[in-house]
Amino acid sequence: MIKLHRVADGSKFHISRIDADSTSGFTGGKHKTAKAFADLNRRLHALQGMLWAEHRRRVLVVLQGMDTSGKDGTISHVFEGVNPLGVKVTSWKPPDARELDHDFLWRIHARVPAAGELGIFNRSHYESVLVERVKQLVPAKVWKARYAQIRDFERLLTESGTTILKFFLFIDRDEQRRRLEERLADPEKRWKFSLGDLEDRQHWDEFMAAYEEAIRRTSTDFAPWYVVPANRKWYRNLVVASVLVRTLESMRLHHQEPALDLSKIQIE
């Protein structure tokens, strides 16, 4: 499953070849995969605790996708039960006046996870080659230069002890329409609806082209992209949890031994 969705460095990735309904042969939906997902969640809880206790390395999870693709849902389901002490979620909004006075990565660098933390970006620095490209907020020569700048930035982070996992949650246009209609119909979800969602929807093909190039240009061995078919929410969660757990297990995390000789400690 994991290799199937990972985009190799230098890959000629095409969004048109991705089936947003795909579940890679998994059948039965969330009910039949509930046990597997519960096991992943349990393992993630333990691994995140070890990451925090080790307090040396850090993990950054980047979630990108069109409106309604499930970034919030992924965070609430995949990371359910992890200790909030060592988890930091950042939901990125358009840069404010102060942030615009700096380079586009200035505000991002300030929010990357610290030692021991598992950081989650709901949207990210990739907005600068997606939204700013499609809406022509910066000249083409500016956003085109950012691919190399992002690669260099992510290399700096990884060489400093940060493991980076990037997920593009891919839903198709019909599924987005269905989810937007659901938001309008449900009073408990209506607050999420924005007219900006409809505006971005009118530029669907342009956004897909922007995502395609961004993924091609910035999926590296040290900071890979995973393209996750996300029409099926349960499968989306299963893929993200599987990648995250497998990656944390490969880090061979361990609890630090205390400096004191605890064998001589007596509790009266």
- For 41-69, how does the pLDDT look when each residue is reduced to its tens digit (9 = 90+)? 999 999 999 999 999 999 999 999 999 99
Confidence of residue 193 (pLDDT cuts 50, 70, 90): confident
Tokens 């091609």 locate to: 216
- What's the mean pLDDT in 220-239? 97
Q: Considering just the CA atoms, what is the radius of gyration of the chain in Å?
A: 20
20-43 pLDDT tens trace: 999 988 877 778 889 999 999 999
CATH fold of the domain at 2-252 = Rossmann fold (3.40.50)
Spell 14-34 as b/e; 16+ CB within 10 A means b: ebeebebebbeebeeeeeebe
Spell 207-239 as b/e; 16+ CB within 10 A means b: bbebbbbbbbbbbbeebbbbbbbbbbbbbbbbb
Rounded CA-CA distance 5/26 in Å is 14
Cite the DSSP H helix spans in 55-117: 71-78, 97-100, 106-109
pTM across the whole model: 0.93
Does the pLDDT at position 258 exceed 80?
A: no
